[in-house]
Structure 1
Amino acid sequence: MLNAAAKPLVKLVERYLPDPYIFVLLLSLLVSAAAVLWQQQSALQVLQYWGDGFWGLLSFSMQMLLVLITGFMLANTPLVKGMLDRLAKLAGSAGQAIVLVTLVSLAASWLNWGFGLVVGALFAKALAKRVKVDYRLLVASAYSGFIVWHGGLAGSIPLTIATANHFSAGQIGVIPTSDTIFAGFNLLLVAALFIAVPLVNYLMLPKAEDSVCIDPAKLRDNAYISNPSDRPADKLENSLVLGLLVGFAGLAYLVQYFVKGGGLNLNIVNFLFLFIAIVLHGTPSRLLHSLQQAIKGGAGIVIQFPFYAGIMAIMLQSGLAQSMSQWFVSFATAETLAFWSFISAGIVNIFVPSGGGQWAVQAPVMLPAALQLGADVSRVAMAVAWGDAWTNLIQPFWALPVLAIAGLKAKDIMGFCLLQLIVTGIIISLVLSFA
Structure 2
Amino acid sequence: MPTKPVDTTRPAGAPPAPGAALTEGSLARLGIRFTAWAERWFPDAFIFVAIAVVIVALGAFANGAPAPAIAKSFGDGFWSLIPFTMQMAFVTIGGYVVATSPPVQALIDRMAALPKTGRGAVGFVAAATMVSSFLSWGLSLIFGGLLARALARRTDLRMDYRAAGAAAYLGLGATWALGLSSSAAQLQANPASLPKNLLAITGVIPFSETIFLWQSMLVALILFVISVVIAYASAPGQTAAVTAADLGIDVARESEDVGRPQQPGEWLEHSPILTILLVLLAMGWVVQEFARQSWITAISNLNTYNLLFLTLGLLLHWRPKRFLVAVARSVPATAGILIQYPLYAAISSMLTNAKNGAGTSTSDVITHAFVSLNTTGSFPLSMGVYSAVLGFFVPSGGGKWLLEAPYVMQAANELKVHLGWAVMVYNAAEALPNLINPFWMLPLVGILGLKARDIVGFSFLQLLVHLPVVLFLLWALALTLTYHPPVMPG
Note whether the superposition's TM-score is higher than 0.5. yes
Question: Which residue, out of 22, 43, 46, partners 2:47?
Answer: 22
- Give the whole-Å Cα distance in 2 for the aligned partners of 1:427 and 1:170: 33
Matched, 1:173 2:203: yes
Question: Which residue, out of 142, 150, 159, partners 1:133?
Answer: 159
- Give the whole-Å Cα distance in 2 for the aligned partners of 1:390 and 1:295: 28
Q: Give the superposition deviation at 1:277.
A: 1.6
| CA distance 1:94–1:381, change in 2 (3 Å) | same
- Give the whole-Å Cα distance in 1 for the aligned partners of 2:442 and 2:141: 10
| CA distance 1:244–1:340, change in 2 (3 Å) | same
CA contact under 8 A between 1:73 and 1:287: conserved in structure 2?
yes
- Deviation digits for residues 356-404 of structure 1 (CA, Å, limit 9, x no counterpart): 2212222222122222222222222221222221111111111111111
Matching residue of 2:243: 213
Question: Which residue, out of 311, 316, 320, partners 2:347?
Answer: 311
SS of 1:111 mapped into structure 2: coil
- Give the whole-Å Cα distance in 2 for the aligned partners of 1:258 and 1:133: 43
Matching residue of 1:390: 432
CA contact under 8 A between 1:54 and 1:307: conserved in structure 2?
yes
- Root-mean-square deviation (CA, aligned residues, Å) is 1.9
Matching residue of 1:271: 307
SS of 1:218 mapped into structure 2: coil
- Deviation digits for residues 263-320 of structure 1 (CA, Å, limit 9, x no counterpart): 3233233222211221222221111222221112221111111111111111122332
- Give the whole-Å Cα distance in 2 for the aligned partners of 1:90 and 1:253: 39
| CA distance 1:226–1:348, change in 2 (3 Å) | closer
Question: Which residue, out of 406, 412, 422, partners 1:364?
Answer: 406
- Give the whole-Å Cα distance in 1 for the aligned partners of 2:452 and 2:118: 22
Amino acid at match of 1:212: V
Matching residue of 1:164: 191
Matching residue of 1:149: 176
Larger radius of gyration: 2
Matched, 1:58 2:82: yes
- Deviation digits for residues 341-370 of structure 1 (CA, Å, limit 9, x no counterpart): 011011111111111221222222212222
Matching residue of 1:234: 266
Question: Which residue, out of 208, 211, 214, partners 1:184?
Answer: 214
Matching residue of 1:34: 59
Higher alpha-carbon deviation: 363-372 or 345-354: 363-372
Q: Deviating runs (4+, > 4 A) in structure 1?
A: none
**Which blocks of at least 5 consecutive residues in structure 1 are unaligned?**
none
Amino acid at match of 2:239: E
Question: Which residue, out of 109, 113, 116, partners 2:137?
Answer: 113
- Give the whole-Å Cα distance in 2 for the aligned partners of 1:362 and 1:320: 13
Amino acid at match of 1:145: G
**Which blocks of at least 5 consecutive residues in structure 2 are unaligned?**
1-25, 355-360, 478-490
Q: Normalising to structure 1: TM-score of the pair?
A: 0.94
CA contact under 8 A between 2:61 and 2:70: conserved in structure 1?
yes
| CA distance 1:230–1:431, change in 2 (3 Å) | closer
- Superposed, which structure 2 residues align to 1:331-350 within 5 Å? 331-350=373-392
Matched, 1:262 2:287: no
| CA distance 1:176–1:289, change in 2 (3 Å) | closer
Matching residue of 1:44: 68
CA contact under 8 A between 1:239 and 1:283: conserved in structure 2?
yes
- Give the whole-Å Cα distance in 2 for the aligned partners of 1:67 and 1:151: 19
| CA distance 1:328–1:14, change in 2 (3 Å) | farther
| CA distance 1:326–1:142, change in 2 (3 Å) | farther
| CA distance 1:16–1:342, change in 2 (3 Å) | same
Higher alpha-carbon deviation: 267-276 or 47-56: 267-276
- Give the whole-Å Cα distance in 1 for the aligned partners of 2:128 and 2:147: 8
- Give the whole-Å Cα distance in 2 for the aligned partners of 1:110 and 1:227: 38
- Deviation digits for residues 318-339 of structure 1 (CA, Å, limit 9, x no counterpart): 3323433443443322111011
Matched, 1:11 2:31: no
Q: Give the superposition deviation at 1:153.
A: 1.0
Q: Report how many aligned residue pairs link the two structures.
A: 434
CA contact under 8 A between 2:429 and 2:471: conserved in structure 1?
no
- Give the whole-Å Cα distance in 1 for the aligned partners of 2:87 and 2:176: 17
CA contact under 8 A between 1:329 and 1:337: conserved in structure 2?
no
| CA distance 1:191–1:226, change in 2 (3 Å) | closer
Amino acid at match of 2:313: A
Matched, 1:416 2:468: no
Matching residue of 2:108: 84
SS of 1:92 mapped into structure 2: coil
| CA distance 1:239–1:87, change in 2 (3 Å) | same
Q: Give the superposition deviation at 1:83.
A: 0.8
Q: Give the superposition deviation at 1:112.
A: 1.6
SS of 1:397 mapped into structure 2: coil
Amino acid at match of 1:129: R
- Give the whole-Å Cα distance in 1 for the aligned partners of 2:369 and 2:253: 51
CA contact under 8 A between 1:321 and 1:348: conserved in structure 2?
no
Higher alpha-carbon deviation: 11-20 or 68-77: 68-77
Identity %: 32
Q: Give the superposition deviation at 1:63.
A: 1.1
